[in-house]
Structure 1
Amino acid sequence: MKNKINITTLILLFTIVGFSQNKSTTTVSLDVYYSKIQAEKKPQIIDARGAEEFALNHINGAVNFNLESKDYAEQVAKLDKSRPVFTYSIGAGRSVWLADDLLKKGFKEAYSLEGGIANWIGNGKPFYANSKSKLTLAEYNKIVADNKTVLVDIGSKYCGACIKVKPVLETIRAQYGENLKIVEIELETSPQVIADLKTVKVFPTLILYQNGKIVFKKDGLGDLKNDVDVALASK
């Protein structure tokens, strides 16, 4: 039994190390990604998310396919292997795998965007959206100004980590009631306010305000419930 556990542990370790190495060879920061795109006359940008996600919002000029697309080989054949390819997704999963596969297929350069579409839109880079945001920056600022304590959850319904935030928010809402205003912002319905805030690098992003000032900003879920409890207990 002990040997089986050790073997399983080693396999898991090698898998994690292997993924980290793959990620480090293709994943780049937003600044690097954007500057490289700007240097291209007709950049080859690939949105590796699903078709529904792409239809709602995407980087200007991007095409949509991933490793699971039925016409994957056909789409790859349309690309120029001698020029850089830029991939992105909701985070760093599908885009990393796609970039790695393109390199294996002989492409000269392939880059995956760290933080994905969240990082791009969240820092105000140009994007397409099929509808106007339900929430404006002015309305957002008014909510923060009109409420003593505000917890903001910024994410996407297509983000697995974002889905895990929801039950935690319900627990927090039940505990604090009217003493805490919770605002949930999704990329699919309010992309422009996410762009205007220029503070989002990943999904989910959690921001706690008190008296109009930021108490904490979290990139990722972490131990949200404890962080809120600690922050509010000290006020």
Structure 2
Amino acid sequence: MDTLLSSSSSMVVQSPLPPVRTIASPSKVYSAAARFSSTPSVNGFRRNHLQLPRPFTFSTVPKFTVRCGAGVREIKESEFQSTVLESNRPVLVEFVATWCGPCRLISPAMESIAQEYGDKLEVVKIDHDANPQLIEEYKFTDCRP
């Protein structure tokens, strides 16, 4: 450990860090760079880049759909009046979109409700993108991006 003495005071400071180690041969440093492809030098230094084993390609993402189970029925704007507004029993309406993550998450719960309360309640789904006039009329905006 090094000791530093100050001439202006009687303080003694000890260095907590170990001495810096040096590398004897710079060729050993660059031997590990053999796995990298080098580009032309910039200001005397070589810039090394990692080579990927194969070219990176994009793949298509599968399109998600919201499908109705046995107890849930998907309706359109033309069916809304007769199915929902003129129904003899309560109707639970779910506005869905194929791109909406929460819509896909709640879908199994809606199907469970439709099966459990099928004799007392009707459960229907309305596609947000396919029925824009109905969405605007009822001012449903929760699924919009």
Coarse TM-score class (shorter-chain normalised)? 0.3 to 0.5
More helix by share: 1
TM score, norm. by length of structure 1: 0.27
